[in-house]
Chains A and B, each alone.
Chain A
C-alpha cells in the first residue's frame, strides 16, 4: 500500500475533525484521499492474481505479508502485492474493471474490488461522507455506468459511509481549479478511459468519456512490437518522453498510440463543444487540467497542447496544465466534493 502526502491548500482544521473521504476508483488504481484536508492519499493497484490453493502457497503469502483472498480452491492476491506476485510467478495480473466500469468478463471482479476498497478505507464514523468517482457517459456504456455506480455505492454503504458519486472529470476540476472558482475543463486520463468534464462555477456543463486509456496503449503497443504488456508498461512508466523523438520501436509505438489517444480525445472534445447547447456563453478563457496515470509521461502536456492549438478550439483556452499530483487529483477532488457536503 502506497501512502503519499498531498497538499490541498491552506488549512486551519485540526486532525480528527475530518469526516469525509474521497475515493478514486479507476481501472488500474484505487486511490483514497482522506485525513485532515485530504492530505493523505492511499493507493492500491486495482488488479489481482489468482493461484491454485495450497498450504505452501498460503504460507508463502503469509510470510511475505501479502494481502490475499481465498475463495475455495483459489487464492487471490490483490492490490499492490498483485504486481510483485505476478512478476514473481511471471503471470499477468487480472483487472476487476475494464474501460472504467466493473469488468463483466471477470467473475471475481466484484469480490476483489470490494476487498481492495475495504483494505483502503478507514473505519467509517457515523454518517461519514464518501464521494467516489464514476466515469462520464461514453459510447454505449450508459447501462454499465448505472450498474457500476449502484454496486460501488452499495459497497460504500455496507461499510457505513454515506456515499455519493462524482464525475471523474469534475473531481479533477474540484481538485485543481479552485482559483478559477471551479470553472474549466478537467481531464482524467486513466488506465481504461479518458474522462472529461467542462464545469462552470462547479456546475458540470458537459461530461463524456472515451474508452481509450493506458491499457489500450499498452495492449496495442504490445501487439505491434510483440513485447509483453508488463515490459511495455515498465518502459512507459519509467523512460517514455513524448517531447523527444523515439529511440526504439517500443517508444515509437508508444508515441503513435499516445498521439492517437490525445487526438481522439481532443477531437471528441471539439465535437462535444460544438454540439452542446448546454454551455453558457463564456466571456473569458478556460483552463484545461490534465491528470491521471496515463498523463504522467514526460511531454504529454506539450503534445496535448500542440494538438489543441493545431486544430483550433471552440472556446478560448487560458492555459493547459498538469495537475499538481496527477495520480491523486481525482481522489482529492472527490474528497473536496465530500467535504463540501459536510455540515
Chain B
C-alpha cells in the first residue's frame, strides 16, 4: 500500500529531511501520474475492470519506481534530474500500455478505435517495446556474450600463436641468434662445431651377456632382449667418408657405428591398466608389421619389452635418406651404418610431442648401453631420426620428424644432439623451407640454427654464392649415395637400388615400412 501511496504523491516511508527536500517535487510528479492514469481509466466502463486497471497500473508503477530508486541508491542526485522524471513517466506510460493491452477485451467495442489511436509519448512506446521484447533481448544478450567469449578465446589463441611465431622468427632470422659453442671449438672450424662432448666424463658401465636361450638374451645391466621375432635383411656395408674431404668413400665397413632413435608413430591407447589387453594387441600388431617390413633393428614396446627385429649385423629399413657425421667421418644412408631403435609411441595430435612410458625410458637406456658396449659406439653417434632425415631432391632437412625435438638424450646417458650442428647443413648445405618450419611449429633446434649460420660463413669464406655452394655439395652427396647404393646392388642403375629408399617423381622420398 505504501508503494502505491508513493506513486500518487504520498511518501510516508521517507525520513523527514528527505521528505522535506523532495515533497514538492514528488507531489507534483504524483499529481501528474494520477492524471495520466485517470485519463486512461476512463476507457473502462465496468467498475471492477476500471478498479483492476487502476490497481494494477499503480502497483506496477510503484514497483518500478522502487526498483529504479534501489538501483540508483548510490546516485541519489540523479533523482533530482529531469532524466529521472522522464524515465519514470515513460515507465508509467509503459505500464499503462501493458495493462491496456491485457485488458483490451474489456473495453467497449465502440471505444476500441480510440484505444488504437492513443497519443503516447515516444519514450513510453520505446519502453513498452523494450518490455515486450525483453525475452528477445535476453536471448540476444546471451548470444552476444557467447560470441564475445568465443571471440576473446579466438583472439587470445590467435595472439598467442602469432606471438609465438613472431618470437620464433625473431630468433631464427639472426636478430638474436642462438649461438652454439662447444668447449675448445672455433666457430668457423668445420669439424670442431660438430663434436658432441656434453657428457665428457660419462662412460656406460661395461655390459656383458649373462645368458641366452631360444628366444631371450639377458644382459648384466638388466636388459632383456626378446629374439623370437629376429629376422635377417642384408648384411651391413658402407663406406667411411672422411669428413671435409671430397672423397666418395674409401674403406668399406660393416660394423654398426651408431644408433638412430625412432618412434613407431602407430596408434596408441591411454596407458592404463584397463587397456592392458588392447595395448598388448596393438603392440603385437606393430611387432608383426615391423618384422614383416624389417623396419628397425629393435623395437621397445610400451611395457619396456625389447624386441630384436633385424639382426645387428644386418641393415634395417629405418633411416632412408639420411646423413650423420662424427668428428672424423660422414655417414650417408644410415640404414647400413647405424642401428635403428624404435619406441612404440606417437606424437600428440598436431604437435611433435612424444610420450614414452617409464618402462620405455629404462629399457631404452639399458639397450643403448648394451649396444654401445657391444659395438663400441661413441656417444656422438647416437642421434635421432628427425636430426638425420633429409630430402635430397630439395636439399631439405627434417624430412621425417620423429624425435626432431624432446628426445631424452640425458636419460639415455647421451649428450644433447640438439645442440650439435648437423652435418647435413654444415657439410652438405641442406636447409629448410617454410613448409618444414610450419611442420616444426616454426621452431628449429639450436644446432640447426647455428649450422645455418655456419654454412653461410663457410660460403662467405670461400667467396662463393651460398646457393651455388649448396648445389655443389648436393652433387657430392648424390655421388656418395650412388656409390653406397651400388655397393648393395652393383648391377642396377643408381635410382633403382634395392635399398630401403625409393625415389618418387616429386623428388621426395618415401621409406618403406613405418618410420
Could you tell me which A residues sit within 8 Å of B by CB distance?
Answer: 8-13, 37, 174-175, 178, 181-182, 200-205, 277-281, 283, 335-337, 339-342
A-B contact pairs, 19 of them (CB 8 A): A9-B45, A9-B46, A10-B45, A181-B50, A182-B50, A200-B34, A201-B34, A201-B38, A201-B54, A201-B58, A203-B5, A203-B8, A277-B12, A278-B5, A280-B10, A281-B31, A337-B51, A340-B51, A340-B52
Pick from A182, A202, A203 the residue with the most CB of B within 10 Å: A203
* Closest partner residue, chain A, to B42 (CB atom): A181
Tell me, rounded to whole Å, the shortest Cβ–Cβ distance linking B13 to chain A: 11
Given contacts A10-B46, A11-B46, A201-B38, contact A280 B8 (CB under 8 A): yes
**Distance A103 CA – B37 CA, assembled complex (angstroms):** 42
Number of A-B contacts (CB under 8 A): 75
* Closest partner residue, chain A, to B24 (CB atom): A281
B442 interfacial by beta-carbon distance below 8 Å: no
* Chain B residues with CB under 8 A of A341: 52
Tell me, rounded to whole Å, the shortest Cβ–Cβ distance linking B384 to chain A: 80
* Chain A residues with CB under 8 A of B12: 277-278
**Distance A281 CA – B55 CA, assembled complex (angstroms):** 20
**Distance A340 CA – B30 CA, assembled complex (angstroms):** 23
B5 to A336, Cβ gap below 8 A?
Answer: no
**Distance A283 CA – B8 CA, assembled complex (angstroms):** 12
Closest 7 CB pairs of A and B: A339-B48, A280-B9, A340-B51, A340-B52, A178-B47, A340-B48, A336-B48
Q: Which of B15-48 contact A (CB under 8 A)?
A: 27, 30-31, 34, 37-38, 41-42, 45-48
B1 to A181, Cβ gap below 8 A?
Answer: no
B4 interfacial by beta-carbon distance below 8 Å: yes
* Chain A residues with CB under 8 A of B286: none
Pick from B4, B9, B46, B49 the residue with the most CB of A within 10 Å: B46
**Distance A280 CA – B23 CA, assembled complex (angstroms):** 10
Besides A280-B30, A281-B9, A342-B48, 8 more A-B contacts (Cβ < 8 Å) are A10-B45, A10-B46, A12-B108, A174-B47, A181-B38, A181-B41, A202-B58, A203-B5
B31 to A181, Cβ gap below 8 A?
Answer: no
Residue tally, chain B, CB below 8 Å to A: 27
Given contacts A280-B9, A283-B31, contact A202 B54 (CB under 8 A): yes
**Distance A337 CA – B10 CA, assembled complex (angstroms):** 23
**Distance A79 CA – B1 CA, assembled complex (angstroms):** 36
**Distance A193 CA – B6 CA, assembled complex (angstroms):** 31
**Distance A182 CA – B108 CA, assembled complex (angstroms):** 20
Tell me, rounded to whole Å, the shortest Cβ–Cβ distance linking B5 to chain A: 6
A280 to B46, Cβ gap below 8 A?
Answer: no
Tell me, rounded to whole Å, the shortest Cβ–Cβ distance linking B99 to chain A: 12
**Distance A279 CA – B5 CA, assembled complex (angstroms):** 9
Partner of A202, one of B30, B42, B46, B55: B55
Q: Which of B49-77 contact A (CB under 8 A)?
A: 49-52, 54-55, 58
**Distance A280 CA – B58 CA, assembled complex (angstroms):** 15
B37 to A201, Cβ gap below 8 A?
Answer: yes
Tell me, rounded to whole Å, the shortest Cβ–Cβ distance linking B190 to chain A: 97
Tell me, rounded to whole Å, the shortest Cβ–Cβ distance linking B438 to chain A: 68
**Distance A202 CA – B45 CA, assembled complex (angstroms):** 15
**Distance A200 CA – B47 CA, assembled complex (angstroms):** 15
**Distance A327 CA – B52 CA, assembled complex (angstroms):** 25
* Closest partner residue, chain A, to B19 (CB atom): A277
Q: Is the interface of A mostly helix, strand, loop or mixed?
A: loop
* Closest partner residue, chain A, to B30 (CB atom): A280
A8 to B58, Cβ gap below 8 A?
Answer: no
* Closest partner residue, chain B, to A337 (CB atom): B51
Tell me, rounded to whole Å, the shortest Cβ–Cβ distance linking A292 to chain B: 19
* Chain A residues with CB under 8 A of B51: 174, 182, 202, 336-337, 340
Tell me, rounded to whole Å, the shortest Cβ–Cβ distance linking A56 to chain B: 50
* Closest partner residue, chain B, to A200 (CB atom): B8
**Distance A181 CA – B38 CA, assembled complex (angstroms):** 7
* Closest partner residue, chain B, to A176 (CB atom): B47
B37 to A203, Cβ gap below 8 A?
Answer: no
* Chain A residues with CB under 8 A of B54: 181-182, 201-202
**Distance A205 CA – B9 CA, assembled complex (angstroms):** 11
**Distance A200 CA – B38 CA, assembled complex (angstroms):** 11
**Distance A11 CA – B45 CA, assembled complex (angstroms):** 9
* Chain A residues with CB under 8 A of B31: 280-281, 283
* Chain A residues with CB under 8 A of B46: 9-11, 13, 37
A203 to B45, Cβ gap below 8 A?
Answer: no
**Distance A183 CA – B52 CA, assembled complex (angstroms):** 14
* Closest partner residue, chain B, to A339 (CB atom): B48
**Distance A13 CA – B47 CA, assembled complex (angstroms):** 13
Pick from B10, B47, B50 the residue with the most CB of A within 10 Å: B47
* Chain B residues with CB under 8 A of A182: 50-51, 54
* Chain B residues with CB under 8 A of A203: 1, 4-5, 8, 58
* Closest partner residue, chain A, to B44 (CB atom): A178
**Distance A9 CA – B44 CA, assembled complex (angstroms):** 11
**Distance A9 CA – B51 CA, assembled complex (angstroms):** 13
B27 to A281, Cβ gap below 8 A?
Answer: yes
Tell me, rounded to whole Å, the shortest Cβ–Cβ distance linking B455 to chain A: 89
* Closest partner residue, chain B, to A342 (CB atom): B48
* Chain A residues with CB under 8 A of B49: 340
**Distance A37 CA – B108 CA, assembled complex (angstroms):** 16
* Chain A residues with CB under 8 A of B38: 181, 201
Given contacts A203-B5, A280-B8, A280-B31, contact A336 B58 (CB under 8 A): no
* Chain A residues with CB under 8 A of B48: 335-337, 339-340, 342
**Distance A279 CA – B12 CA, assembled complex (angstroms):** 10
Tell me, rounded to whole Å, the shortest Cβ–Cβ distance linking A19 to chain B: 12
**Distance A3 CA – B8 CA, assembled complex (angstroms):** 39
* Closest partner residue, chain A, to B102 (CB atom): A343
Tell me, rounded to whole Å, the shortest Cβ–Cβ distance linking B37 to chain A: 7
A279 to B45, Cβ gap below 8 A?
Answer: no
Tell me, rounded to whole Å, the shortest Cβ–Cβ distance linking A172 to chain B: 12
* Chain A residues with CB under 8 A of B52: 340-341
**Distance A175 CA – B48 CA, assembled complex (angstroms):** 9
Tell me, rounded to whole Å, the shortest Cβ–Cβ distance linking B154 to chain A: 49
* Chain B residues with CB under 8 A of A342: 48
**Distance A12 CA – B46 CA, assembled complex (angstroms):** 9
Partner of A178, one of B1, B50, B55, B108: B50
Tell me, rounded to whole Å, the shortest Cβ–Cβ distance linking A104 to chain B: 29
**Distance A201 CA – B32 CA, assembled complex (angstroms):** 13
User: What sequence of 0s and 1s flags, for each residue 346-371 of chain B, a beta carbon within 8 Å of any chain A beta carbon?
Assistant: 00000000000000000000000000
**Distance A162 CA – B426 CA, assembled complex (angstroms):** 97
Given contacts A10-B45, A278-B5, A281-B31, contact A205 B10 (CB under 8 A): yes
Tell me, rounded to whole Å, the shortest Cβ–Cβ distance linking A308 to chain B: 24
Tell me, rounded to whole Å, the shortest Cβ–Cβ distance linking A34 to chain B: 13
**Distance A135 CA – B46 CA, assembled complex (angstroms):** 26
* Chain B residues with CB under 8 A of A200: 8, 34
Tell me, rounded to whole Å, the shortest Cβ–Cβ distance linking B30 to chain A: 6
* Closest partner residue, chain A, to B23 (CB atom): A281
Pick from A37, A204, A280 the residue with the most CB of B within 10 Å: A280
Tell me, rounded to whole Å, the shortest Cβ–Cβ distance linking B109 to chain A: 9
**Distance A53 CA – B344 CA, assembled complex (angstroms):** 108
* Closest partner residue, chain B, to A183 (CB atom): B38
User: What sequence of 0s and 1s flags, for each residue 213-230 of chain B, a beta carbon within 8 Å of any chain A beta carbon?
Assistant: 000000000000000000
Tell me, rounded to whole Å, the shortest Cβ–Cβ distance linking A337 to chain B: 7
**Distance A283 CA – B58 CA, assembled complex (angstroms):** 19
Tell me, rounded to whole Å, the shortest Cβ–Cβ distance linking B18 to chain A: 14
Partner of B8, one of A11, A201, A277: A201
* Chain B residues with CB under 8 A of A8: 47
A9 to B41, Cβ gap below 8 A?
Answer: no
* Closest partner residue, chain B, to A332 (CB atom): B47
Tell me, rounded to whole Å, the shortest Cβ–Cβ distance linking B36 to chain A: 11
